Structure 1
Amino acid sequence: MRSSGSGKSGGTGGRGNYRGAGNNRDQKQGGQGRPRKPRPEERRYDVGPGASPDGPKSGRGGAARGGAKGGPKKAQPQGGRTAPARSREYETRTEERNRDRYAGKKDIKLPKTFPGAEQEGERLQKVLARAGYGSRRACEELIEQARVEVNGEIVLEQGKRVDPEKDEVKVDGLTVATQSYQFFSLNKPAGVVSTMEDPEGRQCLGDYVTNRETRLFHVGRLDTETEGVILLTNHGELAHRLTHPKYGVKKTYLAAIVGPIPRDLGKRLKDGIQLDDGYARADHFRVVEQTGKNYLVEVTLHEGRKHIVRRMLAEAGFPVEKLVRTSFGPITLGDQKSGWLRRLSNTEVGMLMKEVDL
């Protein structure tokens, strides 16, 4: 009985012979169609698309050597073949074929989906903000207060579109320079030539605006020894009208002369002084200050002939020792120091344009 029991144990599944050399348990399980579990020494640790279905060739897998920490591996194509790189000739032929395929076709215009895109021009508040009237919200408040008009009509609604090149925009009745125009006032010192460039190398007006991106030019002239207001701008039409006799823009000067002066000097200047090139008349004359025989007189006239004030007073018998232009139309010198350049405000530009019907 004991010998038969030991025979069963050795033939069918006794624990004593599980790892024996003659054990055929694995073969029996394989023969029954069930997959056997790999033994520890047969287990592989390389995973992912680069894993080999046949198991590692050595004791450790490729991923085990690099580990999962080594990062993902490049996927190898099935069958072990690599895709051939495309040649430059192939890429060139492909590009030419695509170009020929779409040659001659009309450009597709995508629909404008955002509101107001089909309208032309710019929003009015944006134009005003760019012209220097404050933020867009501040410009919207100007519109709400009915202070803005376009082409003679007061704007009452927000979002109105205008063409800065064609439409006339005004704020409080003054024209807005909606384009990229620049306007400056310079207190010209004595000894500066009224030109933008001087071939003789003397100091000129251009020396004060060398850092400007756009080209500026002066409005009118002042002789070299005369000080005071001179305007610089890139607005050609405005500069032309400000100096044209038709519009009669007035200029005011302070002249230092030596007296005594007669009571009727002002009347003589207003009635007209005969000069070599015709009569010259002053629009206004008054004595500003007197210190002994030294007088400071103010002369206003709308003419722009060369040295007109000096010639008039000299012809009347009172040569000018010093001359300063204190205003050009609505632009006054104020407390602007000699040699200082300042940008005109929007209100001043509007007043200049109103002066010449712009």
Structure 2
Amino acid sequence: MSDNEGVRLQKVLADAGIGSRRHCEELIGEGRVTVDGKKVFRFGERVDPERAVIHVDGQRVESRSDSRYYMVNKPRGVVSTMADERGRKSLADFVEVEDRLFHVGRLDTDTEGLILLTNDGELAHRLTHPSFGVEKTYLAEIHGPIPRDLGRRLRKGVMLDDGPAKADKFRIFDQAGRRILVEITLHEGRKHIVRRLLKEVGFPVQQLARVEFGPLKLGQLKPGGVRTLSVHEIGALYRAVDL
């Protein structure tokens, strides 16, 4: 690329939400920015924002202007698709964009919680591919009492009709009488896996919500709520799948 082609690096960084152009120039001058794996110190460096792989302090910066990244808190009763041939409410009812979006992390119709929507096909593929082992965390309501060794049994694994399954992490999140809210983390995404796993050990799920997907946390986003991911969240997703 010649000196007259492309976009100045500090403008690309500023447009991506890293900070003001002056702040971005300081980051470049301090050697904290790399382009295609090489440190850049020159303020006037020009890059192709559609092709360049840019990192700040080791965190990937999404520089393509047409990329979209949304977090949705899917309510119960909504199908995890962008359209439904039966006319049921779908994820498309919550995001008003014309781009084709991929839903990352399907949830049962009766399960609420965090779903990522993006038009970044490579990221979507990696986040759902088993080889990357991206963890998903759920809050499940079950009815007790529960044995003290339940967590150990789930982490050790149980046999389901389509093979063994296990939890990576398990803890009691809250308890009120027989109503117990447990937090369970898994890295696989087989259909109904959380419900099936807990039912197999004798505790059918009453309500279920996904609260974390990899580095993303649902936080205070209410059911039906949508928000755009921050630059830092996008970078954390890239890191999680080695992009």
TM-score scaled to structure 2, two decimals?
Answer: 0.95
Higher normalized contact order (CA 8 Å, seq sep 6+, divided by chain length): 2
Aligned match of 2:158: 273
Partner residue in 1 for 2:78: 192
Within 5 Å, which residues of 2 pair with 1:1-358? 119-179=4-64, 180-209=66-95, 211-358=96-243
CA RMSD of aligned residues (A): 1.5
- Equivalenced residue count is 242
Tell me the secondary structure at the aligned position of residue 246 of structure 1. Answer: helix
Structure-1 separation of matches of 2:31 and 2:201: 53
Deviation (angstroms), 1:355? 0.2
Q: Could you give the per-residue CA deviations for residues 102-153 of structure 1, whole angstroms, max 9, x where no partner exists?
A: xxxxxxxxxxxxxx97543221112112222233233223223332111222
> Normalized per residue, which structure has more strand?
2
- Which secondary structure does the structure 1 equivalent of 2:222 belong to? coil
CA distance in 2, matches of 1:168, 1:351: 15
Structure 1 residue 276 displacement after superposition? 1.0
- The more displaced of 248-257 and 287-296 is 287-296
Within 2, Cα distance between the matches of 1:338 and 1:178? Answer: 30
Could you tell me how far apart the structure 2 residues matched to 1:158 and 1:195 are?
A: 44
Greater per-residue helix proportion? 1
5+ long unaligned stretches in structure 1: 1-115
TM-score normalised per structure 1: 0.65
Give the C-alpha shift of residue 297 in structure 1.
0.5
Q: Percent identity?
A: 61
Specify the SS of the correspondent of 2:151.
helix
Number of the residue aligned with 1:94: none
Larger Rg: 1
Gaps (5+ residues) in structure 2? none
